[in-house]
Amino acid sequence: MRAVQRSGRAVVTGGAGFLGSHLCEALLEDGWQVVALDNFLTGAPGNVAHLAQRSGFELVHCDVTENMHVRGDVDLVLHFASPASPVDYLELPIETLRVGSVGTERALRLARDKGARFVLASTSEVYGDPQVHPQPETYWGHVNPIGPRGVYDEAKRYAEAIVTAYRGAHGVDTGIVRIFNTYGPRMRPYDGRAIPTFIRQGLAGEPLTVAGDGSQTRSVCYVDDLVAGILALARSGHPGPVNIGNPQERTVLEIAEAVVAATGGRSRVEFVERPVDDPEVRRPDTTLARTELGWEPRVSWEDGLRRTVDWFAGALSRSA
User: Rounded to whole angstroms, what are the CA distances from 310 to 186, 221, 263, 285?
Assistant: 11, 17, 9, 30
Q: Map residue 157 onto helix, strand or coil.
A: helix
The residues, any chain, with a CB within 8 Å of residue 78's CB and separated by 6 or more, are 10, 11, 12, 13, 20, 23, 119, 121, 230, 234
- Side chain identity, residue 6: R
181 vs 219: CA distance, rounded Å: 6
Cβ atoms of residues 256 and 293 within 8 Å: no
152 part of the active site:
yes
Q: By C-alpha distance, which of 308, 317, 44 is closest to 194?
A: 308
- Kindly tell me the burial class for residue 273, based on how many C-beta atoms sit within 10 Å of its own C-beta (0-12, 13-18, 19 or more): exposed
163 vs 165: CA distance, rounded Å: 5
Catalytic residue among 89, 152, 183, 222: 152
165 vs 240: CA distance, rounded Å: 13
Q: Find residue 247's DSSP bridge partners.
A: none
DSSP letter assigned to residue 179: E
- Side chain identity, residue 84: A
Query: Taking the CA of residue 51 as centre, how many other CA atoms within 13 Å lie in the half-sphere pointing to its CB?
Result: 26
- Give the residue numbers annotated as catalytic, written as ranges: 152
